Structure 1
Amino acid sequence: MTHFENRPWLSVLIPIYNVAEFLEDCIDSVARQWIEGVEVLVLDDASTDNSEEIILQLTGRYSFLKSYRHELNRGVSAARNSLLKYASGEYIWFLDSDDFILPNALHEIQSQLKSKEPDILMFDYIMVSEDIAALTATESSGHHIATLDVTGKQALLANKARILMGMLRKRRFQTWARISRYELWNSGLTFPEGKYFEDLFCVPELVFSAERFAYCRLALIAYRERSSSIVQSPDVKKVADLLAAACSVLDLWSRSNYPLNRKIQLVHIRFCAITFINGMKMLKKSGLNTEDNRQMLRDFWFKSLDLNIFQLIICFMSNGRFGTLIRFLRHMYGPIRLRVK
């Protein structure tokens, strides 16, 4: 692997905002398995809890840890973009400050990067409860989530359209479930500030920029299911951003005239339909699933995909997705009642 002797081989970038309860767990999970050549950068996005105090304690404890701060809260996208400017590693790994990495993750990552030299390394994760302790957690501590749908045991892939197809089928676009070369970010790619679901906006472009991919089927990170997460506290703005991100997945690919076959386009439409269903469930949970909101988001969805209802029905029926179609129409237009005489 080139350049490892002159620069860190990995930059772990951790944006922080009001996560004092989980912050030490996160950093300690990295420290317990730290390897020479790994730098860990944290950025406090103007937290109002005691996260800053904990960061000071941790930077005094660990020499590999460097900290930065925003004077005003600017959001996770801005925090990640700032961290990218400070990073010097050959590879970049974004880690959320309320999650943690599993035992031997760094050793596995180093082995995969050295042997395969991918532009992007993808891996699985586990979902754990909010109160689980990182110190005692293992891969069997939570529900294993596969991030890529690929057949066979092939671990090194070069077909980026196949990668995109596998991600769409699994509906997994989390930035923290992949490690990527710094150069992919240094080409001008940034997270969209002011938008929710920033990973879904950004990761398809990241994949488009890469040529070599590796997939590790091991779970290397633990994702906490928190009651205060974006999905658990929805509003119309969040759902609109979710739909916009899903509908835009193929935009760069289309603008660049990348050859995408009809199958992947259909898989993308189905992905967008399921995302719409999930968005309506989010609104219902918060009591915002009104007809006006549904109509606004419905019109936006069709316009973004340049579809009409008849084209959509033909698309689903021709692919035998009748059940998904019925669920989609029910969430898009409200309950469907069949009158039998």
Structure 2
Amino acid sequence: MSFPILVSFVVPIYNVEEYLTECLESLYSLERGDYEVILIDDGSTDSSNSIASLFAEKYKNKTTLINQENSGLSCARNTGLSHSVGDWVIFIDSDDFFHTENLNIVLEGLGNTTADIIIYDVYQYVDDTGVKKNMYRVPNPMIGKGAVNSLTYMEALYKRRLYNFVTAWDKVYRREVLTKYNMNFIPGRLCEDVPFTHELLFNSIKVEFVDLKVLFYRLRSGSIMTTRSPKKLKHIELNVEFLHELFRQHNLRDAIYYDYLIMLAKQVVNGKQQLSWRIWLELFKSPSSARKKFVMFELMLKNINIMVKGRSE
């Protein structure tokens, strides 16, 4: 691709034949020539690869199609990132799709921002009813603030318990920043956005929130987000460990951060998965609000019951 590339779209694909056409049509309908699309088929066993191949052939001047053995979303994103050459990178999950007009508005503004990450809002697409609707979110406290330090941004959202800032699919990343900090998703990790986003934001870069709904986020049964499996719960536990160490390294003493870890621990225990006692000990030694301390005590009792039941089975 010899033309200047403003943005690289990274599209991991795995068994999404029902949704992939809508995703790619929303992307390729951009009426501009300064973007590339990197399609990574992560070992699909349905017709996803055939669909991707049709688009790759139709738009071959701006498309790279990569076929790899199934390795998971993190590895597929890493593959796409390693092949990207644009000034900016956007990750989109292949069952979601863009509001193309609003996406173009965001892209038009990239040349005028000092930010390293642009964050935008999303709609929700409810698959079983076919209804597109606003996803309810408390208004982002950084609306109209322009480019701010990422630590300031993260603290502002933590204070309001707006933890949805961790997702990777509602952002535009300056690629040179991802390269500078050697950013990759943890291979094989579920809920991989959580460690990736935190690690990146702790580099004290510039972040700007744009109050536009750019993406339709698809809520569907069977997706990683809606499925609660022992493997997923184990990976949430691993994220608790990762974030606790990250918070410790950055000498964070505010309870707002550790309250989030207790919330994640609650997901594990309420899913009937035992949480490591070593993690419980670290959480107890960490700052947390009185309310979360009480929650943690209740969770420990549940954790004991899970342990006892596991030994008796």
Would the TM-score normalized by the shorter structure come out above 0.5?
A: yes
Q: Any conservation in 2 of the 1:204–1:250 contact (CA below 8 Å)? A: no
Q: 1:55 to 1:107 in 2, by over 3 A?
A: same
Q: 1:151 to 1:55 in 2, by over 3 A?
A: closer
Q: Who is 1:116 aligned against?
A: 113
Q: Which amino acid aligns with 1:102?
A: H
Q: How does the TM-score come out when normalised to structure 1? A: 0.78
Q: What runs of 5+ residues in structure 2 fail to find an aligned partner? A: 304-313
Q: 1:246 to 1:36 in 2, by over 3 A?
A: farther
Q: What runs of 5+ residues in structure 1 fail to find an aligned partner? A: 284-288, 336-341
Deviations 1:84-115 (A, max 9, x none): 11100001111000111113132221233222
Q: Who is 2:263 aligned against?
A: 274
Q: Who is 1:238 aligned against?
A: 232
7, 25, 47: which one aligns with 2:4: 7
| 1:20 has 2:17 as partner | yes
Give the C-alpha shift of residue 127 in structure 1: 2.2
Counterpart of 2:27 in 1: which secondary structure?
A: helix
| 1:201 has 2:201 as partner | no
| 1:315 has 2:283 as partner | no
Q: Any conservation in 2 of the 1:42–1:66 contact (CA below 8 Å)? A: yes
Map of 1:45-124 to 2, 5 A cutoff?
45-63=42-60, 64-70=62-68, 72-124=69-121
Q: Which amino acid aligns with 2:5?
A: P
Q: Who is 1:156 aligned against?
A: 147
Q: Which amino acid aligns with 1:108?
A: I
Give the C-alpha shift of residue 165 in structure 1: 1.7
Q: Any conservation in 2 of the 1:243–1:275 contact (CA below 8 Å)? A: yes
Q: Any conservation in 2 of the 1:13–1:92 contact (CA below 8 Å)? A: yes
Q: 1:243 to 1:171 in 2, by over 3 A?
A: farther
Counterpart of 1:315 in 2: which secondary structure?
A: coil
Q: Who is 1:339 aligned against?
A: none
Give the C-alpha shift of residue 151 in structure 1: 5.2
Give the C-alpha shift of residue 234 in structure 1: 2.1
Q: Which amino acid aligns with 2:141?
A: V
How many residues align structurally?
Answer: 297
Greater mean deviation of Cα atoms: 187-196 or 58-67: 58-67
Map of 1:320-339 to 2, 5 A cutoff?
322=291, 324-334=292-302
Give the C-alpha shift of residue 186 in structure 1: 1.7
RMSD: 2.6
Q: Any conservation in 2 of the 1:149–1:166 contact (CA below 8 Å)? A: no
Q: 1:307 to 1:59 in 2, by over 3 A?
A: closer
Give the C-alpha shift of residue 167 in structure 1: 4.3
